[in-house]
Structure 1
Amino acid sequence: MTENSIDHRRLAKKLTWRDGMAMALTLPVGLFVTFGYLLGVVGAWTAITVWFIGAVISFLQCKVFAEMAAMFPRDSGGVARYAIEGWKKYFAPLGAIAAFGYWLGWSLSISMASVVFGELIEATWFQDNTLAFGIFGNQLGLEHLFALGAMLFAWAFNYFGLKFGATVNKVLGLLVVAGLAVITVACLVSPSIHWSTANLSWSVAGDWRTVAVVFYVTAWTIYAGEIVASFAPEYKDTARDTSKAMSRISLFMIVLFVVVPTALAGGLGEGVVRDNPVNYVAVAFDQAFGGAAWIGTIVIASALLISIISTTADGGRALFGLAQEGMTIKQLDWVNRWGVPGRSLTLDVLLNATVMVLVGHPVSILLASNLGYLLSIILGLSAFLLLRKDRPNWPRPIRRSNGWIPFVAVLVVFNVFITAIGVLNPELLGYGGARESLVAVAVLLFSVVLYAYRRVVQDKLPMLWRLPAPAMPHGADAVALEHEMRQMHSSPTHLANRDPMTPTELEKDPL
């Protein structure tokens, strides 16, 4: 395939729902990164309950996002793109804020996961290392070189085709799932680990606001099943593959965030997990199998690599989708010869390498990025309500019943409440403060500046705060939707004796 034969504004359609799930296997990383830190302010039962509630909410939100993914089968960017479509008729910069917030939430977790990856490798195999050097007043070491290597590894796997990266994620993902399954069972049955409910508590250091902030700071991982929607235009069957991947990864999350922490905290005790917030899985392997801490390190390192690969892919597509819609610099509206948004991926990695060098603790990075992510979720959910009102006749290969409309409104209010409490009270977790929230606000406001630059300077258009929104799809969008509708209504299992007005399996509400 030659360079000239590629449409530099269209993503390659090579993925299946299994590839989407493989990319979403980044999600266990949230468990590894946050559980130990949370046990400093809440008990294990409290944290697990928060995660369970959040995972159920995520499952329901993914049902909503699946409808919008099928509405725009050619559009990259996932949740942020739906926010752009829903809000541009009312206040277009909100779309830019949603997209940059989404990108910020996913992208900056690359540097966080990379640093933790480097720390794990150094602590396990290079304990005697003394390498240290300073850049702009920050002390760096061997772990940061490993972190940079992990970023470049993820960039290469994504730049030369997402299918290859998804294949690697499948292998690493199976390793992670197998490792978690083994240690979960071991914590429950091993004679050297005495699992007991007495090791788990409902303690809360503070009041209900502390629990709300715990939900806020972990929303980036418990809501993250929506990541598969970012790859919607790259699935061979956009509507079916997106819906299947979202449903399956959401159910996996519900099980993961209940069973694994219950087994580990109940076996090791809250104190051990709290004192080893990054490598408590390695401690569990060591106690269960004697001298097998390195196996736990490999499991965690593999999960972190999956996270870095997936978030690099997702962050790049968020920028690409933003540029496609004319809301940031046009140079990012481009794909390389492998059908991948290479410039966006490269910019993403360069930014994270800079953040890793210049910014302090990885958890502070997470706190700064979380505001943008939750804003994108709020604007994406509210876009569902606006699109139902403004585009009632738009073809929907997946259509939820009208009963979802008030339910989604409740979800929007709930997420606004959690975000407000989290932004105003980050110190309740024992780290962070106003500075991290101000950094996030500054980045989001800068997105409006880039939106204005694209329209006024690059596109030479007047600055508009409201943009026209078509009531029906046109051109290539209409053709793509017609294809999706035809695929949905021509499933081999439903061709015979099917009433054309009967919803397909994907259109039926399981609730």
Structure 2
Amino acid sequence: MTTSPESTGGSVSVVQGTALTLAAVLGTGVISLPALAIEAAGPASLVAWAALLLISVPLAATFAALGARHPDGGGVATYARLAFGERVSTMVGWGFFLAIPIGAPVAAGFAASYVADAVGGGRSTEVVVTAAVICVVAVMNWFGIQVSAGVQLAIAGAIATLLLVVIVVSVPRVDPGHFSPFLTHGWSGVGSAAAVLVWAFAGWEIVSSLSAEYRDPARDIGRATSTTLGIVTVLYLGIAFVTVGVLGHATGRAPLADLLAGAFGEWARPLTTVIAVLLTVGAINSYFAGASRLGAALAITGAMPRWLGSDIGDGRRTPRHALSVVVGLGLLVTIGEAALGRPTDATLLVTTGTFALVYVVGTAAAVRLLPGGWPRVAAVVSVAASIVLVVLTGWAVLLPIATGLAGLLWTTRRRRGPGSPDPQPRTIGGDTTVAGPLL
């Protein structure tokens, strides 16, 4: 249920909101994506970074406007339900739920590449560390050992500080020769880099999910979003610039470690590895917690097999059935990639395609829900930009689309059959679950 800004009773200030949004946007991708972008586009990857930062302006403005006018913890799923109805909301829920186990090996693999860089072992080390990170986070969620918001914000602050240090110490070592030739893979390479970099810009939708927690959503959300956008712009463009300028085409799988080691010596490499692992564990922990509760919520409303939510009794237990599915699929993807000789980031485009689709749905809902003027203009621009990102993703976007359609088909047949569940509000972990998924 959507509440008015005056009745939210939240406690999040502008500073706290900025920190939370920064923690969501400044995720695991920044520790490895600069290298992947250079691999796709060479020095012209800077164009892809700049383009996505430019797109982030209307995207961030759109979700900030949605949060200010419709403060609710459901985020994109709530807006999809308000604008388009239960079916679209269900499709978004299915796509997001199954994107988590597909994306977990990618996120864990980013940290694993830093461990392999520090201790050696190559590909085998990456696979083992990827699986180990997934298992550690699974145990944490199974026993309800959640990483506190304060700890996650501290980690985000540490990575932001690390990025700023990397930029400052690396600028004097930039070699102009590394920027030529600029378009080493043509403009198509820039498009490929942009599709990869969507991972680094997923998180603006969290602005709307946190909206009900602000003291004054109508006033504070815009300020926190603007501040976050400025910080992210400086850090992302700075890291992208020095990675190209210092490392050139010889970028390894752990670019931040390479940059710090080049400036301070090899002793700095293990420090970067520790931060990368902590950042990854915190991020995957949040996604596993959210995905397990989303799966249980979908099950309670009849949008997924009832077994996924059958272990929720008094509303306070961890939905272990849904968690088991997420973890099992994540490990299956990791093992499958290892068996096929594929890197841990092989499913990156599938995950970024899902993020882009979520943006399409969220911004399209904004076109219907926001008033005329600049909010609607920003929403229209965001829809067009999100569609471009989906197109750039290519064939990989077909999987989340197929997942959403499968969820819609399953739900429709389920609810037409006898003994369909009553989609009444229930509680999971103290949060009210309405008839539809909460992202």
Normalising by the residue count of structure 2, what TM-score does the alignment of the two structures yield? 0.77
AA partner of residue 143 (structure 1): V
1:377 equivalent in structure 2: 359
Query: Separation in 1 of the partners of 2:106 and 2:140?
Result: 14
Listed one character per residue, the Cα deviations across residues 148-179 of structure 1 (whole Å, up to 9, x for unaligned) are 3443366369x455xx5212212222221222
Change (3 A) 1:47 1:128: closer
Alpha-carbon distance in structure 2 between the residues aligned to 1:416 and 1:130: 35
CA distance, structure 2, for counterparts of residue 316 and residue 16 of structure 1? 29
CA deviation after TM superposition for structure 1 residue 187, in Å: 0.8
Q: CA deviation at 1:93?
A: 3.0
Shift of 1:236: 6.7
**Shift, 1:288, TM fit:** 0.8
1:269 corresponds to which residue? Answer: 247
For 1:39, what is the secondary structure of its paired residue?
helix
Rounded to whole Å, the distance in 2 between the matches of 1:100 and 1:69 is: 23
Determine the structure 2 residue equivalent to 1:497.
Answer: none
Cα distance 1:453–1:336, how it changes in 2: closer, same or farther (>3 A)? farther
| In structure 2, distance between residues paired with 1:22 and 1:119 | 26
Structure 2 CA distance for partners of 1:47 and 1:417, relative to 1, 3 Å:
same
Which of the pair is proportionally richer in helix? 2
Note if 1:448 corresponds to 2:434: no
**Gapped regions of structure 1 (runs ≥ 5):** 1-11, 133-139, 389-399, 424-433, 463-475, 478-511
Identity %: 18
User: Separation in 1 of the partners of 2:352 and 2:408?
Assistant: 19
Determine the C-alpha separation between the residues in 2 that align with 1:15 and 1:154. 26
RMSD, aligned CA: 3.8
Question: Per-residue deviation at 1:96?
Answer: 2.3
Query: Which of residues 275, 280, 290 in structure 1 aligns to 2:255?
Result: 280
Q: Distance in 2 between matches of 1:323 and 1:240?
A: 36
Q: What is the deviation of 1:47? A: 1.8
Partner of 1:356: 334
Out of 80, 83, 96, the residue aligned to residue 77 of structure 2 is 80
Q: CA deviation at 1:313?
A: 4.2
Query: In structure 1, what is the equivalent of residue 92 of structure 2?
Result: 98
Is the contact made by 2:98 and 2:326 (CA closer than 8 Å) also made in structure 1? no
Q: What is residue 305 of structure 1 aligned with on the other side?
A: 281
Contact 1:81 1:321 in 2 (8 A): no
> Secondary structure of the equivalent of 2:41?
coil
| TM-aligned CA deviation for residue 258 of structure 1 | 0.7
Please report how far the alpha carbon of residue 367 of structure 1 lies from its aligned counterpart in structure 2 after TM superposition: 1.4
Distance across 1 between alignment mates of 2:360 and 2:399: 20
CA contact (8 A) 1:176 1:302 kept: no
Partners of 1:130 and 1:206 in 2: how far apart?
26
Q: Is the radius of gyration larger for structure 1 or structure 2?
A: 1
Query: Offset of 1:285 from its aligned partner?
Result: 1.6
Match of residue 472 from structure 1: none
Instruction: Indicate the SS of the match to 1:40.
Output: helix
Mapped to 1, the partners of 2:38 and 2:123 lie a distance apart of: 31
Q: 2:393 aligns with which of 419, 422, 443?
A: 422
2:129 alignment partner in structure 1: 143
- 1:221-246 Cα deviation digits (max 9, x unpaired): 22422234334456676666655554
Once the two structures are TM-superposed, the CA of residue 348 in structure 1 deviates from its matched residue by: 3.1
The amino acid of 1:281's aligned partner reads L
Residue 164 of structure 2 corresponds to residue 170 of structure 1: no
Deviation per CA, 1:471-495, whole angstroms, max 9, x where unpaired?
xxxxx99xxxxxxxxxxxxxxxxxx
Give CA deviations for 1:382-419 in whole Å, capped at 9, x if unaligned. 1112234xxxxxxxxxxx65233244223322322332
What is the CA–CA distance in structure 2 between the aligned matches of 1:307 and 1:323, rounded to whole Å? Answer: 24
1:503 is matched with: none
What's the offset of the Cα at 1:337?
5.8
Distance 1:180 1:302, change over 3 A: farther
Give, in whole Å, the separation in 1 of the partners of 2:326 and 2:211.
20
CA–CA distance in structure 1, aligned partners of residues 309 and 220 of structure 2 = 26
Query: 1:421-443 CA deviation, whole Å, 9 max, x = no partner?
Result: 431xxxxxxxxxx5x45544432
Q: 2:18 and 2:204 mapped to 1: Cα distance?
A: 10
What number of residue pairs does the alignment pair up?
407
Is 1:290 aligned to residue 265 of structure 2? yes
Q: Which whole-Å CA distance do the structure 1 matches of 2:165 and 2:140 have between them?
A: 27
State the 1:377 CA deviation.
0.8
- With over 3 angstroms needed to count, the CA separation of the structure-2 counterparts of 1:130 and 1:57, relative to structure 1, is closer
Shift of 1:116: 3.0
Counterpart AA for 1:295? L
CA shift for structure 1 position 207:
4.3
Mapping for residues 307-322 of structure 1, pairs under 5 Å: 307-316=283-292, 318-319=294-295, 322=298
Q: Which amino acid aligns with 1:355?
A: V
Structure 2 unpaired stretches of 5+:
1-8, 423-432, 435-439
| Corresponding residue number in structure 2 for 1:117 | 111
